[in-house]
């Protein structure tokens, strides 16, 4: 008995097990944990972004209006990018390309197969349209979204764990990931019990650290506006992705010796640096408002519209105690009605 407990305890410490199930059935409805992880990430990103946008003076929950366009277009972009970078999965003789009622079609997003870089492209298009609709500055929204985006990506990566996919090279490290040998993605020729780098966990930790860094920077470096915080997000995420992608062993298109997503990550770093430089030169100061010129809050308590005037900036934080005391003192010494007006 004690030997069995010891073996079990040692086994837990020596590796990371894969989940025994990846979905649950509720009557005729099959719910994949992969989808639940993505949905949970989206909700977390919306909540955090709403908090950050509201602090910038935006109308509460305007992020919902933007998300109505951004989220669906992001998912479509993520799927298209995955299909285009994995053509052998979906096109060719014997492949079920278009029939949505059979496994393996381009429509079967519930089977996995979305690309974060495609989501960024599609999401940027959707967010731009949503910002035009609501009047929020695009770069204000992007900066507010950046930490939440990393948080959503960290949570979404657990979906790969449930799907037993996108793991790395074999390893004998104590945190190696267990993959059943009967898994369709298990590399042929390797013995049963081989452990693999848990690249999903590496990215979860990297993205989680990135959330902390971005939140800290947004508080300490208030000049990181006009898309500069989003640029740092792009650089941070893409730099980590270059590393994790390089040790993954799932099939991928190879371009000039590098996986397609490594090239996408390199492009992400370049774009992030370009945004950082260009926006620093074009907009050295602070954003005057969370809203575009001529647009403003639509809720009943708002009467300020942006005219690109720094004085229009809405600060919803509490005033310093010194200002409160000074205001109270001025009120107590103000002339009464009996003294008349000048």
How far apart CA 197 and CA 274 sit, in angstroms, is 33
CB 201 within 8 A of CB 224: no
Give me the DSSP letters along 32-100: EHHHHHHHHHHHHHHHHHHHHHHHTTPPTTHHHHHHHHHHHHHHHHHHHHHHHH-HHHHSSTT---S-T
Burial of 305 (0-12, 13-18, 19+ CB in 10 A): middle
How far apart CA 127 and CA 295 sit, in angstroms, is 17
Extended beta strands in the chain, E state: 15-16, 23-26, 29-32, 176-178, 195-196, 254-255, 258-259
Q: For the chain, first and last CA: distance in Å? A: 94
Nearest to 64 by CA among 116, 155, 130, 124: 130
Pairing of strands 29-32, 23-26: antiparallel
Q: Does 56 appear as a known binding residue?
A: no
How far apart CA 170 and CA 193 sit, in angstroms, is 10
Q: Which two tokens stand for residue 207?
A: 């993205």
CB 240 within 8 A of CB 268: no
CB 79 within 8 A of CB 120: no
* DSSP code for 312: G
**Cβ atoms within 10 Å, residue 40:** 15
- Binding positions are 157
């Amino acid at each position: 008995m004690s030997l069995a407990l010891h073996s079990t305890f040692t086994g837990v410490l020596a590796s990371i097990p894969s989940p025994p199930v990846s979905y649950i059935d509720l009557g005729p409805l099959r719910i994949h944990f992969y989808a639940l992880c993505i949905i949970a990430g989206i909700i977390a990103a919306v909540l955090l972004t709403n908090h950050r946008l509201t602090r910038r003076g935006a109308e509460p929950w305007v992020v919902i209006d933007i998300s109505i366009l951004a989220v669906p277009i992001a998912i479509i972009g993520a799927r298209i990018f995955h299909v285009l970078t994995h053509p052998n999965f979906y096109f060719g003789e014997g492949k079920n390309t278009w029939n949505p009622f059979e496994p393996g079609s381009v429509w079967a997003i519930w089977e996995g197969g979305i690309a974060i870089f495609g989501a960024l492209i599609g999401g940027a298009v959707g967010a731009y349209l949503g910002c035009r609709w609501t009047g929020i500055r695009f770069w204000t929204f992007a900066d507010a979204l950046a930490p939440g985006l990393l948080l959503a990506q960290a949570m979404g990566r657990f979906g790969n764990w449930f799907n037993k996919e996108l793991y790395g090279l074999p390893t004998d490290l104590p945190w190696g990931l267990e993959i059943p040998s009967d898994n369709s993605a298990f590399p042929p020729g390797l013995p049963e019990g081989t452990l693999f780098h848990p690249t999903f966990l590496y990215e979860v930790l990297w993205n989680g650290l990135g959330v902390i860094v971005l939140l800290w920077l947004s508080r300490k470096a208030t000049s990181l506006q006009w898309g500069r915080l989003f640029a740092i997000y792009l650089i941070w995420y893409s730099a980590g992705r270059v590393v994790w992608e390089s040790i993954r062993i799932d099939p991928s298109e190879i371009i000039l010796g590098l996986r397609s997503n490594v090239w996408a990550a390199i492009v992400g770093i370049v774009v992030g640096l370009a945004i950082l430089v260009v926006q620093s030169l074009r907009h050295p100061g602070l954003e005057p408002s969370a809203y575009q010129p001529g647009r403003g809050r639509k809720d009943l308590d708002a009467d300020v519209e942006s005219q690109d005037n720094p004085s229009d900036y809405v600060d919803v934080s509490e005033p310093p105690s010194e200002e409160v005391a000074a205001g109270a003192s001025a009120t107590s010494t103000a002339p009464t009605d009996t003294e008349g007006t000048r």
